[in-house]
Amino acid sequence: MAKVNRKLATILATDCVDFSKHMESQEELTLSNLTSCREIIDPVIEEHGGRIFHTAGDSVIADFGSPVECVNAAMKFQDLLAARNEAISDGLKLQWRVGIHVDDVIIEGDNIYGSGVNIAARLEGQCEPGRVLLSKIVQDQVKKRVSFAVNPAGTRSLKNISDEFEVFYITKTDDELSPEAINKEATALITQKPNVINKKPKLAVLPFSNGSKDEDSGYLVDGIVEDLTTEFSMIREFEIVSRQTCFDFRDSVETIEEFSEHHNLDFIVTGGIRSSGKRVRISIELSESGTGKVLWSNKYDRVIEDIFDVQDEIVRTVTISLLGEIEISSLQRSKRKATENITSYEFLLRGKEMHHRFTPEGNQQALEFFDKAIEADANNAQAHAWKACTLGQGWFRGWVGGTQEDMFQMSGDCIARAVDLNENDFECHRMLSAVHLSKHEFQLAEEHGRKAYDMVPSDPRVLSGYGEVLVRNGSVDEGLDLLGKALELDPVPQGQLNSDKRFTDLLLGHFYAENFEDLIEVAKKIEHQNFQSWLFVHYAKQQLNVLNKDDKSFEQGLQEYAKDDWPLFLDRLHIPQEEIRNKLSEFLSTI
């Protein structure tokens, strides 16, 4: 691993108050005034030894070698901005907020990372317009070294950092704040900004726009976005809305605001990709879902062979922007490149695109692309794993012939090869868990489900599969939690038209927990029942003494599921406990 370049730095974060609001009403005037303000801010920062690392729209991040110089620079440009506003008799007056913190940071080229950057940005968000807000460590360094008063301003709740973070305002000595004013100001800020502590940030990576003239390159655009979603799903400090839910949004009439509110999002990643030959141009933006404020943006112009490094950089930067350096350890993991062979990678992405179409033709084409990926690089573990998944998809839906034993043999060989090549591929363990469950090898199913979950704790396929296994093996509460999270992150799974699959999975959990009333309530949301939902619902009703054999849905199940097939249907419920199987068999025998 390359040596990490660290240093102790003073971080200044500043942004324009109500910038988005001004842009909506007076775009050209706002941009003109923003440029004028930056012509004041940037030279002052440089004059005091600061280095501007990042700008996104209306925000600026800079670092200084000296906290004293940083505070002097902030106060100077705030004074100049205030004077500018006073000189404008009729026009747009822009105000700025400033947050300053000292911390150890990581420097990588033109980028700066670390919790210090995150804390400075959080302080800026809590700052009053036109003022400068400091952390305690900055206050300790500057209180006797600057010609300004440093006033305690109580504590602030900084999202994902601390409930009670001590802060200080810098003021001129002749307008020092009274304790009453400080308390009043702190109370107002707490009232304005709700507490969102103790909640994982919830993130969605929306489909990127395809700026290429060649529409066939859509597979590359969608594949890169899917890879990013998977990467974020590996970070357990996030909650990630599923790929399928985000791609469904692309085909819906929902606005981003409606989508954000519907899924209770905190942050959104958007972008666009344009490919030309071997060159790929990626633009990306991270924004707050509620305000639309841009937190970070960047553009990359690389060759396709560098795409893995770009993905790593995007995930790293977004993660540190939201969580701070405290979570860097979760990113210091071995490369998960599917292959170094870019031809094999492109065939892999094409195969995944075809798999996701859930059609007989798409299934066949997917298998062909995965075979080509393997031909180009026999060590491409993901190609073997996805081929196994596609074989299972085709057999289950009747698109691939052969017996169940044949399918298990073919897909099992593919998974075994994938695991041999990369035992840390979560897709392999996810699939092995499902295979072992279908074979009634319940402990092995749990073992591989746990491995997949430990690697990718936010993938809804993992949550769903592992949750089902846990419920069956007796960890009912934990399993129910995972099944509920799968529903939240991915209400309509790939290849489904509605949420019936997710609700039916929940029925299993409520059945094992003997939450029969909850089971019946969840079942009301199912549009089309299968044998599992039909059986569990009416078993629950019998336990509550409310079973009505004249009920239309009860009679429909009797007609649809032939009595001679009940033993097979029961076997496919994969229930380990003989006692529970006997209870269900006994119930069926009475009807």
Query: One-letter amino acid identity for 16?
Result: C
CA torsion 352→358→364→368, rounded to 10°?
0
Three-state secondary-structure class, residue 129: coil
The phi, psi pair for 3, rounded to 5°, reads -65, 135
Radius of gyration of the chain (CA): 28
Q: How many CA atoms lie within 13 A of 156 on its CB side?
A: 30
Report CA 160 to chain centroid distance, whole Å: 15
Residues 342 and 304: beta-carbon distance below 8 Å: yes
Residue 190 confidence (pLDDT) above 50: no
CA torsion 340→343→345→351, rounded to 10°?
-160
Q: Any idea which residue has 């593919």 for tokens?
A: 414
The phi, psi pair for 152, rounded to 5°, reads -60, 140
Report the candidate in 200, 224, 226 with the shortest Cα–Cα distance to residue 459.
226
Residue 36 confidence (pLDDT) above 80: yes
Q: What is the mean pLDDT of residues 361-365?
A: 93
pLDDT tens for 209-233 read 888 766 667 788 888 888 888 888 8
Q: Please list, in sequence order, all residues whose beta carbon lies within 8 angstroms of the beta carbon of residue 377, skipping any fewer than 6 positions away.
A: 339, 340, 341, 343, 344, 383
pLDDT: which is higher, 407 or 54: 407
pLDDT tens for 414-427 read 988 988 888 888 88
Burial 64-96 (b: 16+ CB within 10 A, else e): bebbbbbbbbbbbbbeebeebbeeeeeeeebbb
Q: What is the mean pLDDT of residues 47-63?
A: 85
> If pLDDT is split at 50, 70 and 90, which confidence band does 325 have?
very low
Q: What is the predicted pLDDT for the residue at 74?
A: 96
Residue 369 confidence (pLDDT) above 70: yes
Q: Which helix (H) or strand (E) holds 496?
A: none
pLDDT tens for 400-414 read 888 878 887 888 889
Per the structure block, which two tokens stand in for 235?
């970070």
409 dihedral zone (left: phi>0; alpha: psi -120 to 50; beta): alpha
DSSP assignment of 506-570: HHHHHHHHT-HHHHHHHHTT-SS--HHHHHHHHHHHHHTT---TT-HHHHHHHHHS-GGGHHHHH
Q: What is the predicted pLDDT for the residue at 177?
A: 45
Share of the chain above pLDDT 90, in %: 38
Q: What is the predicted pLDDT for the residue at 188?
A: 44
Residue 338 confidence (pLDDT) above 80: no
pLDDT tens for 490-502 read 998 877 889 999 9
Residue 179 confidence (pLDDT) above 50: no
Per the structure block, which two tokens stand in for 133?
């807000």
How many angstroms separate the most distant Cα atoms in the chain? 91
Residue 237 confidence (pLDDT) above 80: no
Residues 56 and 89: beta-carbon distance below 8 Å: no
Q: Which helix (H) or strand (E) holds 44?
A: helix 27-47
Q: What is the predicted pLDDT for the residue at 147?
A: 86
Q: What is the predicted pLDDT for the residue at 311?
A: 77
Counting beta carbons within 10 angstroms of the beta carbon of residue 398, is it exposed (0 to 12), middle (13 to 18) or buried (19 or more)?
A: exposed
Q: What is the predicted pLDDT for the residue at 1?
A: 47
Count of beta carbons in the 10 Å neighbourhood of residue 556:
12
DSSP assignment of 207-222: PPEE--S-GGGHHHHH
Report the candidate in 257, 258, 266, 99 with the shortest Cα–Cα distance to residue 189.
99
Bridge partners, 158 (sequence order): 162
Q: Which DSSP category does 148 fall into?
A: S
Q: What is the predicted pLDDT for the residue at 312?
A: 73
The structure's pTM equals 0.58
pLDDT tens for 449-505 read 999 999 888 899 999 999 999 999 999 999 999 999 999 999 988 778 899 999 999
CATH for 202-331 is 3.40.50.10070
Note whether 5-192 and 202-331 share their fold. Answer: no
Per the structure block, which two tokens stand in for 394?
């085709």
C-alpha 394/C-alpha 410 separation (Å) is 12
Q: What is the predicted pLDDT for the residue at 523?
A: 94
Helices (DSSP H) in 324-459: which residue ranges?
342-355, 360-376, 381-396, 404-421, 426-438, 442-455
Residue 374 confidence (pLDDT) above 80: yes
Q: Any idea which residue has 């119930």 for tokens?
A: 587
pLDDT: which is higher, 405 or 520: 520
* Residue range 5-192 in CATH 3.30.70.1230: yes
Q: What is the predicted pLDDT for the residue at 42?
A: 93
Domain positions in the chain are 5-192, 202-331
